[in-house]
């Protein structure tokens, strides 16, 4: 991972255009090829970014990041205040607790409980930013990403939003819709999810594991 703190301006050219005026920011270049631009607020969410596969070209005063769709992130650098690289090693990945893992297995086995005519594509669908719990198709054939949590909070909605943003850049599966599933979903998380067009599903774990597969239902 490479960490660069620089005074820079950023322009995005693609499906939309966006401009960040000159300011001091953190430029994060990861081993997977992604490049993201961060400020000293907004928690972990970047101001702008380019997900892999993409390519970084460095020239004096200018970084150009381009993906295979031809979208560009152009970073004009006035001054570099810090530049360091660190090898973080192999990421072991997030280990879910027993409840989340069991819920994922149950829903994958009985995916039709989310709707008649739904079918499973695969569990732990790999992406450059981590695996999607379940990727499936609804009755219309549209692709759906399902994120499963024991307790549904804002960070879970943000996580699913990042997956959807990345998946919807893949023309082979786009458009991709989202389902946020949890045993309990906080009102703020539900409001944010629904505002982003993400369907919320509340899971009854005891009922799911106690019912026969043919009668498995979701409420």
Give tens-digit pLDDT for 194-207.
999 999 998 877 66
Cα gap 100→146, rounded to integer Å? 12
Residues in contact with 195: Cβ distance below 8 Å, sequence separation at least 6, in sequence order: none
CATH value of 98-215 in 3.40.1350.10, 3.40.1390.10, 3.30.470.20, 3.30.70.20: 3.40.1350.10
Q: How far is CA 30 from CA 3, 86, 89, 163, 176, in A?
A: 9, 10, 12, 17, 25
Give the CATH number of domain 2-85; options: 2.70.180.20, 3.90.550.10, 3.40.50.1820, 2.60.40.10. 2.70.180.20
Closest CA to 118 of 102, 140, 96: 140
The total of other beta-carbon atoms located within 10 Å of residue 189's CB is: 23
Distance (Å, rounded) from C-alpha 86 to C-alpha 138?
A: 42
Nearest one of 122, 117, 142, 119 to 133, comparing CA atoms:
122
Going from N- to C-terminal start, the domains of the chain cover 2-85, 98-215
Higher pLDDT, 209 or 157: 157
Q: What percent of the chain has pLDDT over 70?
A: 89
Whether 96 has a pLDDT exceeding 60, the answer reads: no
Please, which residues have CB within 8 angstroms of residue 218's CB and are 6 or more apart in sequence?
113, 114, 201, 203, 204, 208
Please write the tens of the pLDDT for every residue from 70-82: 999 999 999 999 9
SS3 47: coil
Q: Which pTM value belongs to this model?
A: 0.54
């Amino acid at each position: 991972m490479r960490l660069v703190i620089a005074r820079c301006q950023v322009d995005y050219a693609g499906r939309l255009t966006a401009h960040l005026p000159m300011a001091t920011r953190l430029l994060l270049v990861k081993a997977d090829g992604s490049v993201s631009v961060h400020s000293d607020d907004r928690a972990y969410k970047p101001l702008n970014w380019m997900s892999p596969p993409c390519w970084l070209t460095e020239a004096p005063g200018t970084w150009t990041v381009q993906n295979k769709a031809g979208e560009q992130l152009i970073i004009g650098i006035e001054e570099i205040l810090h530049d360091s690289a660190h090898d973080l090693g192999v990421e072991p990945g997030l280990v879910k607790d027993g409840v989340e893992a069991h819920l994922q297995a149950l829903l994958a086995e009985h995916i039709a409980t989310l709707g008649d005519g739904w079918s499973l594509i695969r569990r732990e669908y790999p992406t450059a930013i981590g695996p999607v719990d379940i990727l499936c198709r609804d009755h219309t054939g549209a692709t759906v990403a399902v994120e499963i949590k024991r307790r549904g909070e804002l960070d879970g909605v943000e996580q699913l939003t990042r997956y959807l943003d990345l998946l919807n850049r893949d023309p082979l599966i786009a458009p991709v819709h989202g389902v946020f599933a949890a045993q309990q979903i906080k009102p703020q998380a539900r409001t944010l999810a629904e505002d982003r067009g993400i369907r919320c599903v509340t899971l009854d774990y005891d009922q799911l594991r106690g019912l026969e597969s043919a009668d498995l239902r979701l409420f």
